[in-house]
Structures are given as structure tokens and as C-alpha cells.
Amino acid sequence: MVCTAFVLGGGGVLGAAEAGMARALLEAGIVPDLVHGTSIGAINGAAIAADPTPRGARNLIRTWDVLASGGVLGGSLLGRVGQVVRSGTSLHDTEDLRRLLREHLPVATFDDLVVPFECVAASIERAREHWFSGGDLVEAVLASCALPGVFPPVRIGDEHFIDGGLVNSIPLARAVGEGADTVWVLHVGRIEEQLRVPRRPWEVGFVSFEIARRHRFHADLALVPDGVTVHVLPTGLPARPAATWSNLRYRDTGRITSSAGRAYDATRAYLAGLG
């Protein structure tokens, strides 16, 4: 039996591109049997699994318009400093994002989803990836996108979780392991960027993290068995070197506006080329 999976990677505000890709796929009649997401891909993946239709994709793009307004990651510098003082570890709390998800996701639990969905987070206590597939949907998604330093760890049960991108930035192997024979990889475009030797202090950490996250994806891609087709969708961005400084600007919501439309057009062109 044919099994189609959507795999959605992490990438912060760049994740609007995944919403554009999803719209193009769903309008073309490509509907997932499984959805797996990491970090911002967990937000997008949960929305797609809740309403895997062109209408659902358009609603997701409208949710990104809300994110572009700056409400979730907004606030004054003084307010963010105050949050660091209160929390000791993060620039923002999770309340605004939690409220946005509860308002815009049409379901509350994994069991209510139309399509099976899983998202991954990093367990602090066990120092390994943890997959959520049941229970409260919003709390699991929050755990998956708890970017260190930006959001605090999310406690679920007796464990604390942080961003899933630390352990599995594009969960291709998970989808293949669960029986997918056609996998559509929706991503934010970082794997398209060319890394350069770091020349400034802040570039060292960025390049190191990018090598780690891309290494796992490329290793998983190399191990895909015969009979499984993987489509890594285009974002529509031109070939370019990795923009280390801009990728650190997690609050740069101005990049949201055009990325969904650009990825939508690029994905439509990719599908047309498949014949």
C-alpha cells in the first residue's frame, strides 16, 4: 500500500516557506498519510495534519501573517531583559505562542487530527530525542519549538524538553522507518545554503550547528532504501552562501511575508517538472 509522508524541518521565522510548499502539494492533490515535524515544522505539521486540504494550507499561511505582526516574538528590549531576569534562561515566555496555537489549531489533541502526526523534542534529562504522538497537541508542539535562549524548556510529566532541531532537524529517517515509500521534505532553505569557513566569533557556533544538523539529514538521505522516493522541495531562493548573521535574527519577521509565496511558486514548478 502506498504511504506518503510530509516531513517538515526546523528554522524559526523562515518556516513560512513550508506553508507555501504545503499549499502547492495539497492543491496538486498530494495528501499525506503521515506527518512528522521538528521545531517550527511541528507547528506547520500539526496544522497540516489537522486539516490536510488547500483550505487548511491557506489558513496556515494566514497564521504566519499573525506571526509576522510580531506579537509572539515582539516586546520591548526592556521587556525581554525583564523576562531573562525572571526566567534566568530565556528572552520570551511561551504564553503568547501557546495562545496563538490554541486559537489557530483546529484541534486540541493528537487523537483529533485527521492524519497521524508526530513531533520531536530534545529531552534534557535523557539527553536524547523524544517523539510525541499522543496527548495534548499544543504542549507537544511547544516542546518541539522551545528554542534555547529564546523560549524556556517545556515541562511535560517529569521531563523538560527543548527544541527538536537540536537532535533531529529534518526527521526523514522517522518517516521511512514508519513505512513511508514517498517522502516530501518541506524545509526552510538552510540546506540549500553554502557554508563558509567562519571568520567572526558568532559564525563559529552557527557553522558548527549547521554542520551537525545537515550531517544527520544527509546521512539519513544516503540510507534511504531502494523503493523509497524522497522529494526535497525547493524554496525558490537563489543559490547563496549561508547568511550567518541574518539567521541569528530570530525576530526578523520581515522575512515571513515573501517566503511562503516564493516557496509555493517554486514547488508548483517542481511538481510540473515531474510530469
Per residue in 5-17, pLDDT tens? 999 999 877 889 9
Per residue in 182-231, pLDDT tens? 999 999 988 888 888 988 887 888 888 889 889 999 999 999 999 999 99
CB contact at 8 A, 146 and 162:
yes
Cα radius of gyration rounded to whole Å, the chain = 18
CB contact at 8 A, 170 and 191:
yes
Question: For the residues of 98-130, what is the DSSP string, one character each?
Answer: HHHHHHHSS-SBGGG-SS-EEEEEEETTTTEEE
- Return the percent helix, strand and coil in the chain, to nearest 5: 50, 15, 35
CB contact at 8 A, 99 and 133:
no
pLDDT band at residue 269 under the 50/70/90 scheme? very high
pLDDT of residue 82: 35
pLDDT of residue 72: 56
pLDDT of residue 254: 54
The C-alpha torsion from 147 through 148 and 151 to 156, rounded to 10°, is 90
Q: Environment class of residue 265 by beta-carbon count within 10 Å: exposed (0-12), middle (13-18) or buried (19+)?
A: middle
Q: How many CA atoms lie within 13 A of 271 on its CB side?
A: 17
Q: Which helix or strand (DSSP H or E) is residue 161 part of?
A: strand 159-162
Per residue in 24-71, pLDDT tens? 999 999 999 999 999 999 999 999 999 999 999 999 998 888 776 655
pLDDT band at residue 245 under the 50/70/90 scheme? very low
Q: How far apart are CA 240 and CA 217, in angstroms?
A: 20
Whose cell is 504542549? That residue is 139
Whose cell is 525572571? That residue is 86
